[in-house]
Structure 1
Amino acid sequence: MSDAATPDLIASALREKFTVHALRIEDDSHEHAGHQSAGGGGHYTVVIVADEFAGKRSVARHRLVYDALGSLMQTRIHALAIDAKSPSEA
């Protein structure tokens, strides 16, 4: 289940935590029709370019994104694909 407000909530949480240069959020839930998640959250892809990712490995970047999304990961997001880059990598 996706919710039209969830991408806006994701964007707001990420912009609050990071110095964002570019951000794209895609709702991929339609690609998972019939796949019921226990929590009912949707499937999303986040592409983000932010200063805070400079010098960090992919796993650390993903942890930062998960931390920024906090409770959304438990309630509104079932699956999240992350492409996180520093400005020099974008």
Structure 2
Amino acid sequence: MATEIESRLRLALNPSHLLVINDSDQHAGHAGHDGSGESHFTVELVSTAFVDRSRVERQRMVNEALKELLAERVHALRIRALAPGE
């Protein structure tokens, strides 16, 4: 799943920095944890696509790039989206 998230974000937003962290083990036994070990993620990315965009707009851009995964396979996604130099 992390590889698929990375691939989709690279294609959609061409980040200069991208880190995908699987946080699923921290949520064992909580709602939304499906036992697959691939349900909760953090993404940190830097992209020129985020220049002059609000935090909400940036999150929407990431969510749009991952919409199928978020609808079907990923329960939670924490996003840290920055423009270069931030």
Cα RMSD for the two superposed structures: 1.4
Give the counterpart of 1:26 among 15, 21, 27. Answer: 21
Q: Number of residues paired by the alignment?
A: 83
**Equivalent-residue separation in structure 1 for 2:6 and 2:46 (angstroms):** 12
**Equivalent-residue separation in structure 1 for 2:49 and 2:41 (angstroms):** 21
Going by fraction, where is strand more abundant, 1 or 2?
A: 1
Where does the alignment leave 5 or more consecutive residues of structure 2 unmatched? none
Where does the alignment leave 5 or more consecutive residues of structure 1 unmatched? 1-5
The one-letter code sitting in structure 2 at the alignment partner of 1:37 is G
**Equivalent-residue separation in structure 1 for 2:73 and 2:85 (angstroms):** 31
Matches within 5 A, 1:1-90: 6-37=1-32, 40=34, 42-89=39-86
Q: Percent identity of the aligned residues?
A: 37
TM-score by length of 1: 0.86
Once the two structures are superposed, residues 53-74 of structure 1 have per-residue CA deviations (whole angstroms, 9 ceiling, x without a partner) of 0001100000000000120001
Once the two structures are superposed, residues 8-33 of structure 1 have per-residue CA deviations (whole angstroms, 9 ceiling, x without a partner) of 00000000101210000100000001
**Equivalent-residue separation in structure 2 for 1:85 and 1:53 (angstroms):** 6
